[in-house]
Every structure is written in structure tokens, then in C-alpha cells.
Amino acid sequence: MRLIGNAAAGLSLAALAALLWLWQPAFVWRMPGADRIAVAVAACLLWLSLCVWARRGRGRTPPESASGTVAVVYASQTGSAERLANQTVSSLEAGGIGARLIHLRGLDSAALPRSATEAVLFVVSTTGEGEPPDDARAFVEALRRRPAAVRDLRYGLLSLGDRSYAQYCGFGREFESLLRTGGATPLFETVEVDNGDATAIERWHDALAVLGTEALPPLVPEPFLRMRLEARRLLNPGSPGGPVFHLSLAPEMGTVPDWQAGDIAEIRLPGSAGLIREYSLASVPADARLELLVRQQRHADGYGVGSAWLTLDCPLGGPVDVRVRRNSAFHAPEGSRPMLLIGNGTGIAGLRAHLKARAAAKLGGAWLIFGERQSRHDFHFREEIEDWQRTGVIERVDLAFSRDTAQCIYVQQRIVESGAALDDFVHRGAAIYVCGSLEGMAPGVDAALRQVLGSPLLESLAADGRYRRDVY
């Protein structure tokens, strides 16, 4: 191919030189012979540099493997599928296969590559009770209506889940059945990953050999960073609820890793076969600290493993192995769009990070709806929140303390009570962010938003990334 290309460039160069010689416009004709030759040489040089420039431009596209390029499409609720998709792209590219990362949110099934040379690798997780991540809902809905949209697609599927849930990999299985119904062709057997199981991830890596290279570098897991527990403060002494601690992790040396509001801290517990616990980050990089809220879990048979270590056993100043997981599904909206922040309990952590980021960017236009048990004990970060109200970062706060009154008020009631203002806020362009418990709060908030805004609007907000949730 390259030989043919070079020959063609040579021939066209010769033709151009001949043309220039024959044509010789009048002003060139009047020049002395030596000058005419100089003009012809200059024109040829100009032509040559144009050819070189055009070839360099072409060289910037990803290299194609013997079997073409790969689109790696992910849908993720809390960032794990996003991370594996990223690692897959890096590994493919290092192995010489052109790969591009695509977020399933906003993707039209008609836009999926369907050529014989481009394969699609899907990396998806399951959330809720066997449900798709929020960023996959619109795509899946469209696929249900028009399954043939994926006909002729060649795909591989990595499906993340956790066997402790009743519907293990429920969404991954539903997605695969939709792909097959639509006539898509699997490149290899779907790989299901139970709770980050490394052996299953290795199987995924091995299966990728079908794309045309045996020597694919391994998927590189992000390393943990050694930090130390700098501070631990009980936020709710006297609360009828479980104790909530505000933890601050400082770097042992050097700087903290980079992150954005919405990202998640993964903490590796010592002496527990590498068990990892995850928490929404409550701080921003300008704080130079990773801050978390941890509720101490007490069960009939003792404390929860992760929370007991962080709130009781880890000594102040002691080492903590941590890494940050990018969770773009809960990142801030673009620009200065207003935000409706809804959460309960330790969910204030993720919302606080967003408020801190907005305060630093001098953005107003935040509305906070927060719920806990008693205002006297459980109004976490009260001073900060009141300060943000004074300085205009927060334009409105609604609180729902369930144990302050006999009627047990929750955030979902506040949503319904403020229906007209909330509808107006959304029509002013606001994005809705929900952080906190999956049980009770998240479905209750979802139902209340549907009641106030209507399901079609809420679905379209989700599809546009204006309804995002970090719920656990």
C-alpha cells in the first residue's frame, strides 16, 4: 500500500512540474531562464511539503490492527465499569489496536459501528435490583423498541455484578439478550465479574485476543496510595442514629491524587484478603485531603468490618491504603448550570464536594434538600451550609428531620411540597443530583420527582446527564 502511495505521489509531482513548465504564465515567461527554474523548483517544494503535511495529518488517527478498530462502550453507576473500559482501551492501544472510549449515555444505537472491521466491546454494570445503570436507561429503552438497530454488530460483553444480590448481573444478562434478539453477533462468551474478581477480568483480557493480537498487555489496576488518618471526628453525638464520623486522610508524602467532586475513595482494609470499601469523597483537591463520612455499622453479631476499622481500630496517624475511582456519572454538569442537590445521611458527603467545588468556582444557583433524623444532632456541616447560604452559593435549603416531628418528614415530601418551584428550577436548566441511601430514599425521591416533573421529563433529564445518582 505504502509503495503504491509513494509512486502515486511521485507521478503527480512529475505531472505538476511538467504542467508548470508548459503553462508558464506571462509574468513568468518574461523572467530570465534561471529565475523560471527557481519558480518551478519553489512550486515543487511547496507541493512536496503539502503532501508531507497531509500524510502527517493522516498519521494522527489511531493505528488499525489486522482486524480493524474497536469501540469500547461503557455504562456505569459508580465508576467501576468506566475504569475497566478505560483500562481496556489502554491495553488495546498498547497492543497496537485502535480503540476509542464511548459513554453509553447519549449514544444512539444507529451510531454504533457496524462495519466488518470495527467491533464493539460493551462494559456494563448492574445496579438497583437487577437494573441498568442510569446512563444506560435511554439506550436500552430505544433498543427494546427497535432491537434490529444492532443487527450485524460484532460485540464482546463484560458484565459487572455481585453475587450477593438476588439478580446477579441482571442487567448484563438482559442487555445480552437484547443484543442477540437484535441479531448482533458475539465475538466470545460474555464475561461476568463477581465483585471485581481478578480471575474473571483476566478471562476478559484473554478473550480480547480474538481482536487480532495475542500479545495484549494486561489490564493495569490502579495502585493504592499510602495515606494516613489525620483526623476523625464524631459528627452526631447523642443521635438516635448510628454514629457518623468525618475522616480526613492526608498524603504520607508528596501530593494527593487528582480527583473531581463525584469521585469515590476505595479503601483497602488491612488483613482482610484485600477487602475494599468505598466511600463518596466529601472534599475537593484544593483541600489537599481526602475526606469521607463513615457511618459505624452495628449488627446483631458485631460491627461492620470496614466501618469498624475506620472508625475504631485504625489509630490516628495510622496508614490507610486508598485510591480514587473516577465516577464521571456523578461529576458536575458543564458550566454554571444550577444544581438541585438531594440527599440523606452520609449522602451529604458527595453533595458537599459539589458545593465546595461550586463555592471555589464562585457559582451560585444551588438548591439543597437534605434529610436526617434530628436537627439537634444530625445536621452535618451545618455551619458550612449556612455560610454557603450567606455567600450565595446556595440559594435555597430544605431540611427534613424525620424525628423532629411526629409525622416523620423525609426529603421526598419536601420535593412534593415544593413541586412548582422545583419544576421551575428544572426549567431554568438545573441538573438533579441524588446522594445517599438506596433503600427508602432513592426510590422515594425518584417517585416524588416523577410526580412533580412527570416521567418523560425525568427520563429525558437522565438521558441528558441532568439526573444523576450516587446511591448505595
Ligand X SMILES: Cc1cc2nc3c(=O)[nH]c(=O)nc-3n(C[C@H](O)[C@H](O)[C@H](O)COP(=O)(O)O)c2cc1C
**Residue 71, φ and ψ in degrees, nearest 5:** -100, 125
170 binds ligand X (CB under 6 A): yes
Q: Among 169, 184, 411, 432, which residue sits at the site for ligand X (rule: CB under 6 A)? A: 169
- Indicate the DSSP class of residue 297: P
Residue 342 interacts with ligand X (CB under 6 A)? Answer: no
Q: How far is the CB of 172 from ligand X (least distance, A)?
A: 8
How many angstroms separate the CA atoms of 287 and 35, rounded? 68
Helices 137-145 and 170-181 sit at what angle, rounded to 10 degrees?
30
Q: Does 353 bind ligand X (CB under 6 A)?
A: no
Q: Which of 95, 128, 371, 436 binds ligand X (CB under 6 A)?
A: 128
C-alpha angle 234-237-240 in degrees, rounded to nearest 5: 120
Among the listed ranges 79-87, 108-116, 395-403, 444-452, the one in contact with ligand X (CB under 6 A) is 79-87
Residue 306 is a binding residue for ligand X (CB under 6 A): no
The only residue of 80, 109, 236, 402 in contact with ligand X, by rule CB under 6 A: 80
Q: Quick check: 190 binds ligand X (CB under 6 A)? A: no
Residue 434 C-beta: closest distance to ligand X, Å: 12
- 262 near ligand X, rule: CB under 6 A: no
Residue 278 binding ligand X, by CB under 6 A: no
Cell numbers linked to 195: 465483585
Given 69, 126, 213, 418, the residue binding ligand X (CB under 6 A): 126
Q: Is 158 in the site for ligand X (CB under 6 A)?
A: no
Using rule CB under 6 A, residue 129 touches ligand X = yes
Write down the least CB distance from residue 84 to ligand X, Å.
8
In this chain, which of 67, 167, 374, 413 binds ligand X, going by CB under 6 A? 167
**Nearest position to ligand X, beta carbon:** 161
> Helix or strand or coil: residue 454?
coil
C-alpha separations of 77 from 83, 112, 464, 470 in Å: 11, 21, 15, 7
Nearer to ligand X, 126 or 418 (CB): 126
Number of H helices and E strands in the chain, helices first, is 15, 19
Q: Are 207 and 188 in contact (CB under 8 A)?
A: yes
Size of the site for ligand X (CB under 6 A): 24
Residue 184 or 471 with smaller CB distance to ligand X: 471
Q: How far is the CB of 342 from ligand X (least distance, A)?
A: 16
To ligand X, the closest distance from the beta carbon of 121 in angstroms equals 15
Quick one: 193 or 430, whose CB is closer to ligand X?
193
Q: Yes or no: say if 465 and 431 are a contact pair by the CB < 8 Å rule.
A: yes
CA-closest candidate to residue 331, choices 262, 252, 270, 412: 262
Q: Which residues contact 259 (CB under 8 A, 6 or more apart)?
A: 281, 284, 285, 324, 326
E strand intervals along 252-393: 264-268, 276-280, 290-295, 298-299, 302-303, 319-325, 339-344, 366-372
Distances (CA, A) of 159 to 37, 100, 378, 388: 67, 19, 38, 41
Of the two residues 355 and 462, which places its CB atom closer to ligand X in the complex?
462
| Per-residue contact flags (x/-) with ligand X for residues 58 to 77, judged by CB under 6 A | ------------------xx
Is the Cα dihedral 276, 279, 281, 282 positive or negative? negative
Binding site for ligand X (CB under 6 A): 76-81, 125-130, 133, 160-162, 165, 167-170, 438, 471-472
